[in-house]
Homo-oligomer: A and B are copies of this chain.
């Protein structure tokens, strides 16, 4: 029955992240992840090509949503307003399961250099996607690059705040990400 389970992808991700935290990334096998998630190995391989892929899965989706939000922002939007539109679009794809995953994911990453490298490259990919979308709007470099980096920082800070906040706080990821973006914008005035 597992193959028809709608939440299988999410269960595999949670199982993998928990195992990475408990015993390390290297020591964790696909068989263990499948077992923890209550599915067969062949079910795992219908969802992901390997255990590394499992961590990359969300990146293409996030990059696409960030870029789409930037591309579809009003023509007179400033670079940072366009970035805000990208953050809102990407945030709309993140639900309660993503919120629950946050602290576990951070623990797994903190425990593994390999996952830290993977996570760092993910940020580079998100920044590149946003930079390209801003350049396509006519934003010159280095403003485009700078705005994209602020967007990545805001998304990461917003995600951390959202996933660590009280569960009776019903404000979504978009609220926290845009709030972090405003804080970063304000901080530019103090750079000197």
Contacts and interface: CB of A to CB of B under 8 A. Distances in A.
Interface of A: 77-81, 113, 116-118, 120-121, 123-124, 140, 142-143, 145-147, 149-150, 153, 157, 180, 183-185, 187-188, 190-192
Contacts of A118: 117
B185 A191 contact: yes
A120 B113 CA distance: 12
Contact of A79 (B79, B80, B180, B192): B192
Given A117-B117, A142-B187, A146-B184, 12 more contacts: A77-B192, A78-B192, A79-B192, A80-B191, A117-B120, A120-B124, A123-B124, A142-B184, A145-B153, A146-B150, A146-B153, A147-B191
A113 B125 CA distance: 12
A115 to B, nearest CB: 10
